Amino acid sequence: MDKEMIKNVVPSHTETFCFLIDIDEIEGQTTRIFQHHFCCRFLDSLPQEIAYEFIKKMSLKKFAKGDRIIHQGKKLENFYLILKGICGVNVERADIFYDIDKLGSGEIIGAEALFNEKVSTAHVHAETDVELLCMSGKQFEKLALEMPDLKSFMTSVLVHILSSSKLPDNRMIGKYSVTNEIGHGGAGIVFKGAHSVLNMPVAIKMLTHEMSMDPDFIELFRNEAKTIALMNHPNIVKVYDIEEAYKTIFIIMEYLEGATLDNVLENVEKLSLERIIDITIQVCNGLEYAHNLGIIHQDINPRNIFLQSDGRVKIIDFGLACRRGSVDSNFLFPGSLHYISPEQIQGNPVDERSDIYSLGITVYEMLTGEKPYKVTEGKDILKWHLEEDFDSANIYMENLPVELRNFFMKTIMKEPSERYARVSEILKELDPIAKRLKIERPCFCRQNQMMGMFLVFQEEQQLLLKKYIEEFSRKISETGASLKVMRFED
């Protein structure tokens, strides 16, 4: 065989996101065309024309049965999509080979090359004669600059690796192991995982590559993530750690048992007034804490309010959070349109009152199961937020306690200056009805944390160590913490 090349790619007429790939096989003066029917789930996220061009840019490689395609521990330069045949995956430990998996048409091997991972974690061989579509990691990187939609291919591949790989090393993000996918949104994918040493359950949010490979966005995100990680409040999801791997960022958070408010609203006919007030007060407690730190959530809605099975409420997903007074152009994620404040639409600086507006829309939805407007088109929703006044004679309003009616009408004023200035004013407004319903506002008290360490030294080192400890203590004091030293005899 002198040469083989991909001649043409057209859509399959029988299955969605499957392709008919024409391969030219040139031998001497003779050219033969072979057609392959190829389906690949990793291409589902791509526009069809991008998928065509991507496949056309790949080269065809053939391996005979028994050939080693990828060597464990060796640097990976290429990744492959299996066009035809079966590949076997095995791991070598102490000169013993352990079979791990068998992969067929449409699967990927050598995916580490996509993410600049240096070496393969397993051997891959041809279980049968195989034909593979091949591309180098460097070529893909250049192609993704020309066709940014290819970043979604990276995300699809990585989600598969983290949720399905039979190689434990491939499912590690720093010191955390991924177990399964539990959620999928516009900006990221959420997995359940565990700390590899403590075996503590965690939620791991992975940013999509479209987001993580945007230099402007990622720098803002890193700065905000560091701030959010410092928050410590019972009504805000706790961020434990931030890891960077596979050309994206992972946020390690506490794992919550329960459901988001939007899921609850879809599955119950109506929430009790007591539960609605309780949820609203708990969300207000979390918002008050964040606002006191100068952090504006920017995306309060039922998807980002989590109801735990023990009754506690957590605000989640601070992915769009910003500092008070910021102007953020990244607000139009799916779902946010229904709850967005007029000033966000207009591109004006945001503050506490933007979150208060979104909270008002959310509370109305809890009360009625509906949005406070009847329009459904995006442009009409934006117009309502900007211009349309809510009908205070609405039948739902007439049956509400006066405190709740006042709360709602004031939260959704178009002009920020006419809303509550601070969440503390809302809590004061709702206090009478909370007392009547015997809903207590919990007191959040900051608790001191302690860390222990042991210093083992010889007598002659004591003087120098005392100097170092004094310097260290001064630096600790500058953070507001304190260092306590106790002496023990060995």
The CATH architecture that domain 259-436 belongs to is Orthogonal Bundle (1.10)
> Residue 204 — very low, low, confident or very high, per pLDDT cuts 50/70/90?
very high
Q: What is the pLDDT of residue 85?
A: 96
- Report, in angstroms and rounded to the nearest whole number, the Rg of the chain calculated over CA atoms: 28
Is pLDDT at 446 greater than 60 in this prediction? no
CB 63 within 8 A of CB 130: yes
Portions of the chain given CATH number 2.60.120.10 = 3-163
Structure tokens, 172:
């590690």
Q: Which of 33-42, 134-143, 165-174, 440-449 is predicted least confidently?
A: 440-449
> Residue 135 — very low, low, confident or very high, per pLDDT cuts 50/70/90?
very high
For residue 363, give the nearest of 328, 326, 390, 332 by alpha carbon: 390
Please write the tens of the pLDDT for every residue from 45-69. 899 889 989 999 999 999 999 999 9
> Residue 315 — very low, low, confident or very high, per pLDDT cuts 50/70/90?
very high
169 is catalytic: no
Q: What is the pLDDT of residue 26?
A: 61
Which residue among the candidates 278, 299, 351, 355 is catalytic per the annotation? Answer: 299
Helices (H) and strands (E) in the chain, counts: 14, 22
pLDDT, averaged across the chain: 86
- CATH topology for 174-254? Phosphorylase Kinase; domain 1 (3.30.200)
For the chain, what percent of residues have pLDDT higher than 90?
A: 53
Among positive and negative, which fits the CA dihedral 110, 111, 114, 118? negative
Q: What is the pLDDT of residue 143?
A: 95
For residue 56, give the nearest of 160, 139, 157 by alpha carbon: 139
Portions of the chain given CATH number 1.10.510.10 = 259-436
Please write the tens of the pLDDT for every residue from 75-88. 899 999 999 999 99
Portions of the chain given CATH number 3.30.200.20 = 174-254
Q: What is the pLDDT of residue 70?
A: 96
Instruction: Taking residues 13-30, report their average pLDDT.
Output: 72
Among positive and negative, which fits the CA dihedral 215, 217, 222, 223? positive
Please write the tens of the pLDDT for every residue from 395-436. 666 778 888 888 989 999 999 999 999 999 999 999 999 999
Instruction: Taking residues 214-218, report their average pLDDT.
Output: 79
Is pLDDT at 90 greater than 60 in this prediction? yes
Higher pLDDT: 428 or 328? It is 428
> Residue 451 — very low, low, confident or very high, per pLDDT cuts 50/70/90?
low
Is pLDDT at 364 greater than 80 in this prediction? yes
Instruction: Taking residues 319-327, report their average pLDDT.
Output: 82
Higher pLDDT: 216 or 360? It is 360
Q: What is the pLDDT of residue 456?
A: 76
Cα three-residue angle 442-447-453, rounded to 5 degrees: 155
Is pLDDT at 480 greater than 90 in this prediction? no
Is pLDDT at 108 greater than 70 in this prediction? yes
Q: Which CATH class is domain 3-163?
A: mainly beta
Is pLDDT at 447 greater than 70 in this prediction? no
Q: Cβ neighbours of residue 151 under 8 Å, at least 6 residues apart? A: 144, 208, 209, 210, 213
d(CA 87, CA 127): 5
Q: How far is CA 280 from CA 222, 255, 310, 423, in A?
A: 30, 22, 16, 11
> Residue 465 — very low, low, confident or very high, per pLDDT cuts 50/70/90?
confident
> Residue 1 — very low, low, confident or very high, per pLDDT cuts 50/70/90?
very low
Structure tokens, 379:
């442009």
How many alpha carbons lie under 13 Å from residue 5 in its C-beta half-sphere? 7
| Confidence (pTM) | 0.77
d(CA 224, CA 114): 28
Structure tokens, 319:
């992915």
Is pLDDT at 334 greater than 50 in this prediction? no
As beta bridge partners, residue 91 has 98
DSSP string covering 328-377 = -S----TTGGGT--HHHHHT----HHHHHHHHHHHHHHHHHSS-S----S
> Residue 2 — very low, low, confident or very high, per pLDDT cuts 50/70/90?
very low
